[in-house]
Amino acid sequence: MIGVIGVIGVIGVIGVIGVIGVIGVSKSERTMRAIGLWTAPLLLAAAAPPAPVPDPVQVAAAALRDAPVWDGHNDVPEQLRDRRRDVLGDFDFRDTTGTADAAKGLGAMHTDLARLRAGHVGAQFWSVYVSAALPEPQAVQATLEQIDVIRRLIARYPADLQFCTTAACVRDAMRAGRIASLLGAEGGHSIGGSLGVLRQFHALGVRYLTLTHFRDTAWADSATDAPAHGGLTDFGRQVVREMQRLGMLVDLSHTSAATMRAALAVARAPVIFSHSGAQAVDGSPRNVPDDVLDRLKANGGVVMVDAYPSYVSEKVRQWVAGRAGEEARLKVLFPGDPAAVKAGVAAWVAAHPEAKASVGDVADHIDHIARRIGIEHVGLGGDYDGMEIGPEGMHDVSGYPALFTELARRGYDKAALMKLASGNTLRVLAAAEAFAAAHAADAPEEAPTAF
């Protein structure tokens, strides 16, 4: 192969010879030689072999090697509660592929140490979620139990998992080859309307709070409930301010668009969406509208794109809605006859094959957010073990390399993929910590207790 300098040298020699040769010849000959003079470099360039196209598999592997995935949301603690009542006993987290429970209608778990390694997950926010249907005092207790069980699980596997509460710890754990393990509380009901409880959760290691879950709280509107507050109440704004004073990440997944906007108006440090997508791609209210994405860019925050099929695929969302609508219609037509309803739903499904989400659907959300506000504002939050099954090609936590390969095929380079994998989330948590350090002397927010 001719090097760049060699090509330039050859072109220069040809040019000199051409100029000398043109002197003293006829006009027509000079014209022909001039054409040759200018076309010679083009011929040389055409003869050079094309630059090799980067192999998407290799680009993805290189990015994940240098920047493992930091996943924003995983529901293993919920699985431990539902399946085992938080009793670890002989539970083996090295391999959970055999954990299906047909009697309870439960499939196998999506997460274990082997599959986390296969998925190149280097940091994980474990969700200490409890149902928003619980009375708030009970929700506080249950959340404490979830904090306890996941911390006990982390402690069982010190060679693989490292409990972390800071960005520096996450970096250290990744360098040591361990999976940094952080806690996120999913739903403001978990604090029981108490800033004191919020502060104690922070002291126990919780590093984000999702302001709502599927229901409104007394101080914030959910994306999936009838609006009650128009976003945040005064107490809700206090919660946001106190979280940022402490260095906790404000998580806006599950909140209504009005709550998103209200929180961003209060926030002075970057916020996150721990497991959401782009509403322009999938119209679910669980996803983020474009105008909120624009505000998030100004805030410096991150949307951690999830893998929940009906949140990433509009076709799946429409299929789910169609099935639910048909079931509701049949229940009205055949009250007291569940067999007829079941048969009717089965007939509808047979006539309408189930839609499936794919790796490409997840990539479409990343594409949209990156084009709208920049790759610096995108992360990943799979929601594994909080759904029945992930998209085709990403059924469980081992599927991240397939997503990164798809993104590399679409033209994302190693630097962009490293930001997506964990660089952006590291930046956001470090910024939250820096804000808290700068405001360490600020007085805590105060509000009267309920009783």
Q: Which residues are catalytic?
A: 73, 75, 186, 213, 254, 275, 383
Between strands 249-251 and 302-305, the pairing is: unpaired
* Contacting residues for 299 by C-beta, under 8 A, at least 6 apart: 264, 267, 270, 271
- Cβ contact 242:198 at 8 Å: yes
Copy the structure tokens of residue 264.
């961003």
Question: In sequence order, what DSSP letters do the residues of 95-132 get, joined into one string?
Answer: --TT--BGGGTB---S--HHHHHHTTEEEEEEE----T
Give helix then strand counts, H and E, for the chain.
18, 9
The end-to-end CA distance of the chain, in Å, is 81
* Contacting residues for 97 by C-beta, under 8 A, at least 6 apart: 108, 109, 112
Between strands 378-380 and 302-305, the pairing is: parallel
What is the C-alpha separation between 426 and 244, in angstroms, rounded? 16
- Cβ contact 177:123 at 8 Å: no
Q: Which strand (E) or helix (H) includes residue 206? A: strand 206-210
* Contacting residues for 189 by C-beta, under 8 A, at least 6 apart: 130, 132, 134, 136, 139, 212, 213, 215, 217
Question: How remote is the C-alpha of 13 from its chain's centroid?
Answer: 56
Exposure class string for 227-261: b at 16+ Cβ within 10 A, else e: ebbebbbebbbbbbbbbbbbbbbbbbbbbbbbbbb
What is the C-alpha separation between 243 and 171, in angstroms, rounded? 23
- Cβ contact 387:353 at 8 Å: no
Copy the structure tokens of residue 218.
């007394």
* Contacting residues for 359 by C-beta, under 8 A, at least 6 apart: 391, 392, 393, 394, 399, 402, 403, 406
Copy the structure tokens of residue 369.
């957010």
- Cβ contact 215:132 at 8 Å: yes
Copy the structure tokens of residue 194.
């108490």
